[in-house]
Amino acid sequence: MTSVHSHGAITEHAIQTHESLARLGQLEREQRTLAARQSRVLAEAYLAVIAATTTAPPKHRELAVRSLAAECGFVVDRSCRTMTARMERAASLLESFPATQHCWESGDIDGVRAELIERHGKAIEQPEFRQQYERAALEAAVECTPGELERIVRRLAEQARKHRLDERFEEAQALRTVSVDPLKDGLAALSIVMPEWQAHAIFERVTEIAKDNLRAETQEQTASASDLSRGGATRTLDQARADVVAELLLQSDPTANVLRPDGGALRYDARVSMTVPVLTVLGHSREAAVLSGVGPIPLAHAKQLAAKQPSFERILTDPISSQPLAVDRYRPSEAMRRMLAVRDESCRFPGCSRRAERCDLDHTHDAAKGGQTTVRNLAHLCRWHHTLKHWRGWQVSQDSAGVLHWISPNGITRATRPPSAHARIQATDATEACPSADPRSQCGGTANQAAGAVNQVRGSANARTRPMRHSSRPSPGSRVPQFSPKRDNEAAPVFGRRASPWDLTPPPF
């Protein structure tokens, strides 16, 4: 009797969960639509004021915009500055990214994704490249979380820019600064504006030192009889990071650094992984170097990091390259680990952005159940989602392209692609840069050519604790989509057709 009652309670709970999830999805879509309509109203009001004051003096136009922002703020209880920013962003979205506005109004994406597409794409100078960027970004937006999408649109926007990242960085680095912002209760925030790769290298090094300190604290307390009741470290990882930064800056001797044999030059003691396209190094492509898990960095800095180490290693994705793609044991080879780290970049659970270096390399089909140790059955999962994967009801499979198909206990499906498998924008001058070569073989090509012909270099700078390792970033193995204004105008039907996460058929480019 008890068993029957328990089964009935579980069934009732499952039905209620299904209903709650369905209602949640419906409300989310309605909320997206309402927010998009509000954005359109703000954009139309802003553009109407701009059109009405075209011939007016600049001061009059500014006052007219201020007045409109103030009145809109009265209606929605926001400040004038907030409403001015919202109106400008809404107008930019409506004018420069109409397909994004349409997808937002239809509920396919939310405001966060629309803002990401607009923010990273508004700097693209040429309208035709902006259209290509928007279409590729929308294809990713309907499948990715905002965190995943930001890394993708950063790369897409960089590919579509007229001026290379190295050229723009020369001007941007003038913004380097250090500032202190007071907080409450005797705290303050120390902010540093610096080259992105340096910031991530510093963060990685500080994290490693903080973890070492926490492990030492735990061991010391465990060895002390008086502290057995406490157990474990007394600080969190974030607190330990802050203490490490303070100790390194306040207790180090700047004079000793200058008197070093290298004259105080930067030492890359932290782990920094990057991918450098070989065609870019040779001057045949404008594709930027990529800091693993972050985004594009100037090629000059990538070369500087790579030049500090004596050798490079290549990873080719073609099966005839003699690189091992499968091994007859549970643990993958080092070559497979390097290639998968480049392919995945981060945890492959939907929405997770923990970098691959901090994740487990998991067998998608469990090795205990006959799963093979191959690149088509391995993917990076952080410890949290690795554990969740084995919880009852969760299912995951991996196809030959490295796409993971997730099914939740209540039947919700999601698919996560490797970051490199998303669409790319092929700039015209990249093809013109290598006129003597076949454009298909060096700037796109067929799937078979791309699978084995693109060699890239991945570095890991760690001069003190470990040697720098280099590998290549595997090609997604798919042809670069060809864009056209006519097809860009048909973006909405394409994404409407992708309502089901299991429908992975590529759009009809």
DSSP string covering 368-421, please? GGT--EEGGGEEEE-HHHHHHHTSTT-EEEE-TTS-EEEE-TTS-EEEE--GGG
Is there a contact between 390 and 340 (Cβ–Cβ < 8 Å)?
A: no
pLDDT in tens, the chain (509 residues): 445 455 555 577 778 888 899 999 999 999 999 999 999 999 999 999 999 999 999 999 999 999 999 999 999 999 989 999 999 999 999 999 999 999 999 999 999 999 999 999 998 989 999 999 999 999 999 988 898 899 889 889 888 888 777 778 877 888 999 999 989 888 899 999 998 878 888 898 899 899 988 988 888 777 765 554 555 568 899 999 999 999 888 887 666 554 545 544 555 454 555 666 666 666 666 666 776 656 677 777 666 666 655 443 433 333 333 344 455 556 787 778 888 888 888 899 988 888 888 899 999 998 888 888 888 899 999 999 999 998 888 999 999 888 999 999 888 888 898 887 766 776 554 334 333 333 333 333 433 333 333 333 333 333 333 333 333 333 344 333 333 333 333 333 333 333 333 333 333 32
Extended strands (E) in 272-312: 273-277, 289-291, 295-297
Please state, in angstroms and rounded to a whole number, the distance separating the CA atoms of residues 495 and 447. 24
Q: List the structure tokens of 23.
A: 């209602």
Q: List the structure tokens of 427.
A: 């700039």
Please state, in angstroms and rounded to a whole number, the distance separating the CA atoms of residues 465 and 270. 8
CA 477 to the chain's CA centroid: 20
Is there a contact between 468 and 311 (Cβ–Cβ < 8 Å)?
A: no
Q: Please give the model's pTM, rounded to 2 decimal places.
A: 0.59
The residues, ordered by sequence, that sit 6+ positions from 259 with a Cβ below 8 Å of its Cβ are none
Q: List the structure tokens of 122.
A: 């508004």
Q: List the structure tokens of 352.
A: 């997770």
Q: What is the 3-state secondary structure (H, E, C) of 223-281?
A: HCHHHCCCCCCCCCHHHHHHHHHHHHHHHCCHHHHHCCCCCCCCCCCCCCEEEEEHHHH
CA distances to 237, 277, 361 from 334, in Å: 29, 21, 12
Question: Can you give the length of the chain in residues?
Answer: 509
Rg from Cα positions in the chain: 26
Is there a contact between 410 and 17 (Cβ–Cβ < 8 Å)?
A: yes
Would you kindly state where each structural domain of the chain is located, as residue ranges?
Answer: 2-174, 195-258
Strand order in the sheet with 295-297: 295-297, 289-291, 273-277, 456-460, 470-471
At residue 151, the 3 state secondary structure works out as helix
Most distant CA pair in the chain: distance in Å?
84
pLDDT at 476: 40
pLDDT at 427: 55
Taking alpha carbons only, the member of 497, 465, 471 closest to residue 204 is: 465
